Chain A
Amino acid sequence: MMPDLSSLCRKGLEALYPDKVKITVGRATCGRASGAEEVYQALLAEVKERGLDCTVATTGCLGFCQEEPLVCVQFPGKPRYVYSRVRPELVKEIIVGVINQNMPRKRLLGKVFEDEVLITGEKVKMDDRSGDRSLAENPFYLPQVKVATRNCGYIDPGSIAEYVARGGYLALQKALAQTPEEIIQEVLESGLRGRGGGGFPTGKKWDFARKSPGGVKYVICNADEGDPGAYMDRSILEGDPHTVLEGMTIGGYAIGAHTGIIYCRAEYPLAVATLREAIKQAEENGFLGDDIFGSGFSFRIEIVEGRGAFVCGEETALIASIEGKMGEPSPRPPFPAERGLWGKPTNINNVETWANIPPIIMKGGKWFAGMGTENSKGTKVFALVGDIKNNGLVEVPMGTTLRQIIYDIGGGTGVFDFKAVQTGGPSGGCIPASLIDLPVDYEELTKAGAIMGSGGMVVMNEHACMVDVARFFITFTQDESCGKCLPCREGTRQMLELLNKICAGKAEMPDLELLENLALAIKDAALCGLGQTAPSPVLSTLKYFREEYEAHIREKFCPSGVCRELFELTIAEEACRGCGRCAEVCPQQAITGQRKQPYRLDQDRCIRCRACLNTCRHKAIKVVPPRR
């Protein structure tokens, strides 16, 4: 069946810009966690009750997790209102605003005056630019350049027509008219590198797989996103599944594969359901199947749900898992491009990498390479989380500095000082505040002792203990180690023992040396990427925060006030303004005093829960060494 792009596009535009009022709710997992479902149901009920002639639609995630649930209201031809932190109580006000054509100002995040379709460059202008703040000028969105997440939060992920209306499947049509070599050349020129963590040039990977002899080949989408704090792949799958399908089909054509497999973690039920629906619609409309666009090329995509192990994100373990074996890495070489799934040449890229393919094919490799730094091209999606004002998914050009990401977009860390940012998940490292002007790209992050990884960014303020942070990540990797190779299994276990000892104040200085040597040996000797990078959190914190380790060992003192046995809290009289907020939050009634007078903290009642520490805006709560 020949896909009918123009009629789909027409249908999609009608759905995107209907001639009646359209209310859209961001119903991806992040929205749901903040109560988007209740808001959606309340909207449906309210619309029904009042007999309103308007559409209540679904979309993915706009990236601004801090402000979820997000609701958009669009009058035909008018700017779109975007409301943040919408609760069911606000729904009535919004509906009344729709009826009276006088929208409430409460929780109005901004207005959208223009939609730009990245693929085609077309702009949809919505006139009436009144004095309202534009969403695009919100500091959170202003520096962002959306390529991989271009459709997230704009289209209904369950509608292939809306995807087509935003330039979807044009790239596939274009690619199928080219030779596979031309496509690989385009991807090479774009400088796109693997967004899953390895950072290997995608074009080169495709080239290896294409040149690998064999009639049967596979492409795989790695959707086993597992880094703590990273969720960009989920957002893309839930918000714009077709871009992944389109990217994979182009990749399949380029390397000569006819089957694609999406290995999606089972903990993402919404993503799996969204993908299933998207595959169905793509098949029905002739974007997947036999003889796509009359090119003679056939391609099908299957979903395999993950088996719940972090290590299955490692490509050889992922392949083993698809084959029904234990999710365990095996040595490379042979690389999957030579001998992969079922022993056939296989190309694996992660979700974000695939999502970048359609724009690269449509707009050209040069366009993509025009963004970013010398060796890291294009944009990257980061999951900005932790002690930061604006949590969310941000997509910025490579080379954007940490300062821009954390302060301009993220809005900073509030009254408490920024201490470090952990990038790249459990395989990554901690970058200290002194490197705040570091341009973020593959090379710079590696040089700083961290990695790009999948793009997790956990921001930490002055109250984070770096030894404890290292311990958190080692706990994670030792739990997720498959246990096959000795250095990873036993090494991470022993690293955790040592870190526990340090955090409990029971370690001596030789333990620190042992920890470092052990970390270096694991890094060198482990079998797979998980083991080789498992010591990174330890090595990077040792590099930048060694004095904190030493304080734990020599002085038996945790200067950040995290390791419970190694600190006490006290109120500095000169800093205390007597506001009493600390006393309000103290669960032990350990803090007493009178307003406008310095408060006092009773050490015997204090359980060091840190509630006061995190509450005091005047930084009057001090961390001091414990009395012996």
Chain B
Amino acid sequence: MNLTIDGKTVPVIDETTVLEVAQREGIWIPTFCHHPGLPPYGACRLCVVEVKAGGRPGLAASCTLPVADGLVIETNSPRVQRSRRILLQLLLAVTPGSAVVKELAEKMGVNTTPFEINEQENHCALCGLCVRVCNQVGAHAIGFAFRGTRRRVTPPFGKPAADCVGCRACASVCPTGDVKFTEKGDRLFGENWGADLSLARCSSCGRLFTTEYLFNHVKTKLGPDYSAAKLCPTCRRRSTANVMTGSYLGKVR
């Protein structure tokens, strides 16, 4: 199976997307709601490419566009550029402070937005990365609620997130820096989700290193093979090294 991307015909295999092919071929396509470790979502539409032949002609989001034999794609046609520029201007209006968005915009030669700028404190662009990563982690603590411009990410029924394990994956994938966690004493607060979690202490060095909830969550996920000792990453490394070197030295002796 072959597809043509920016004039270059390349072999492709089933179950890949046009975005993946482009990235493999070293073609830059701007993305915002995409993360290689998470299922594609197709919400920001920045990655639109133009289908010239072999599919429904017009623009399509490359992150959700499956490859097909004979597909002819242009990743940077004038039509694509026009849409991307407007989309970036819209994004700039929603989340004017985001470094990720600013960098993308600069790359596309967009410096300002002609649109009404969102002056609220919340600059979430609803890319859905936090929701998807939370599902991937298996916590399912947050989701979308309401529709249209009232749409937001929230724990069920707007109540404090009972299922938040405190892994902070949502904060680490958030491109606008809107998801915030703070530590106070031995508590971790997920501000956006109303989560209040107790931190676990390393049984070896006594350092606070994760939440009790996350520790138990991982334990159940990994099953009985997982060493149940409550160790921070440093102590766990040391302990594992000791076991390994011990058994090695034992064999040598």
Contacts and interface: CB of A to CB of B under 8 A. Distances in A.
A333 interface: yes
A414 interface: no
A309 B148 CA distance: 11
A520 interface: yes
Contact of B148 (A479, A494, A518, A520): A479
A33 interface: no
Interface stretch (B23-31, B80-88, B235-243): B80-88
B48 interface: yes
Contact of B58 (A478, A491, A524): A524
Interface stretch (A102-110, A240-248, A480-488, A585-593): A480-488
A625 B125 CA distance: 42
B114 interface: yes
Contacts of B59: 524-525
A57 interface: no
Nearest to B66: A333
Interface residues of B, number: 37
Contacts of B61: 331, 527
Classify the secondary structure of A's interface with B.
Answer: helix
A489 interface: yes
A486 B91 contact: yes
Contacts of A331: 42, 60-61, 64-65
A462 interface: no
A482 B86 contact: no
B20 to A, nearest CB: 15
Interface in A140-156: none
B72 interface: no
B169 interface: no
Contacts of B126: 483-484, 486, 489
A520 B58 CA distance: 12
A483 B147 contact: yes
B151 interface: yes
Interface string A323-349: 000100011011000000000000000
Contacts, number: 101
A483 B151 contact: yes
A486 B64 contact: no
A23 to B, nearest CB: 46
Contacts of A330: 42
Contact of A521 (B87, B93, B114): B87
A521 B115 CA distance: 14
A503 B201 CA distance: 62
B66 to A, nearest CB: 6
Contacts of A478: 148-149
A493 interface: yes
A265 B253 CA distance: 78
Given A517-B82, A524-B79, A486 B149 contact: no
B9 to A, nearest CB: 22
A486 B42 CA distance: 9
Contacts of B116: 494, 497
Given A478-B149, A497-B116, A517-B86, A485 B79 contact: no
B44 A490 contact: no
B162 to A, nearest CB: 20
A527 B43 contact: yes
Interface in B57-112: 58-61, 64-66, 79, 82-83, 85-87, 90-91, 93-94
Interface in B127-156: 128, 143-144, 146-151
A490 B82 contact: no
Nearest to A493: B149
B93 A494 contact: yes
B34 interface: no
A483 B42 contact: no
Interface in A435-489: 478-487, 489
B45 A526 contact: yes
Given A521-B82, A525-B87, A527-B61, A490 B93 contact: yes
A486 B93 contact: no
B44 A485 contact: yes
B105 to A, nearest CB: 14
Interface of A: 309, 311, 326, 330-331, 333-334, 478-487, 489-491, 493-494, 497, 510, 514, 517-518, 520-522, 524-527
Given A481-B147, A486-B46, 4 more contacts: A482-B147, A486-B126, A489-B151, A524-B58
The 6 A-B pairs at the shortest CB distance, nearest first, are namely A483-B151, A521-B86, A331-B64, A490-B90, A525-B83, A525-B45
18 contacts: A330-B42, A481-B149, A482-B151, A483-B151, A484-B43, A484-B128, A486-B44, A486-B90, A486-B94, A491-B86, A493-B149, A517-B82, A521-B82, A521-B87, A524-B48, A524-B82, A527-B42, A527-B43
